[in-house]
Amino acid sequence: MKLSGKVAIITGGSRGIGKATASIFAKEGASVVITAKDNTRLQSAARELGVVGFAGDIRKNDDVENIVKRTLDRFGKIDILVNNAGMLPKVKPLHEIPEEEWNEVIDINLTGQFRFTKAVVPHMMKNGGCIINISSDAGLKSFENFEVDSYSATKAALIHLTKTWAIEYAKHKIRVNCICPGVIETDMTEPYLRTEADRAMMVAEHPIGRIGNPDDVAKAILYFASEDSSWITGAILPVDGGVTIK
């Protein structure tokens, strides 16, 4: 039970990587709070996993602070934050991106992570803690025919913020690390995997020879959340089947 006695908040926890992480955290003994905007889907996932679901919009500071307060009221502390929530806009070149869409992606994928981290850090400063940011391999390198500039910008920024926060809060025994997944089979990537040709092309991009699944990432998140990585902070870990080494 690697997380026995720990309390974790996982944003975007009702599906995909967040849901897989909540499942493995609960099995490892953590008290888990998952968050999402869609309360119906959130509560269904919470019941399925045996965890707590607090609904809220990562774009609204009041919602973020309310989730943190309810977690503290319920469990008395917060040991782990997984900044997983995010969105992937439709592929289009820069000159076709409406400013409203650009701002929405920044708000959800970057400012939302800022809001949650800002809300939990004062409580972690008392006894230490662990923050895991979920970025992307698109934050590490550019990919031809993957024109999602706002998404790539937020993921690159989150990588650098991981290093900034790691240095800033190391003296408070707060570790901050980052995972950069490749293509993971989730609702978010489903539009890119609809045909056998699409799937074959995606598989061919990964030297390991397959697309990732949510558990591949969840196991890496567990490593950073547990004492197995107690001497690691500011690390950026690609979990991408080898894409970024090409």
Q: Which of 167, 66, 82 lies closest to 130 in space, CA to CA?
A: 82
Within the chain, residue ranges assigned H as helices are 16-27, 39-49, 61-75, 99-106, 112-127, 149-169, 196-205, 214-225
- Rounded distance between C-alpha atoms, residue 105 and residue 127, angstroms: 33
Q: What is the four-CA torsion angle of 177, 183, 187, 189, rounded to 10 degrees?
A: 130
- Rounded distance between C-alpha atoms, residue 150 and residue 134, angstroms: 16
Residue 84 neighbours by CB distance under 10 Å:
28
Catalytic residue among 151, 169, 192, 223: 151
192 counts as catalytic = no
| Residues known to be catalytic | 151
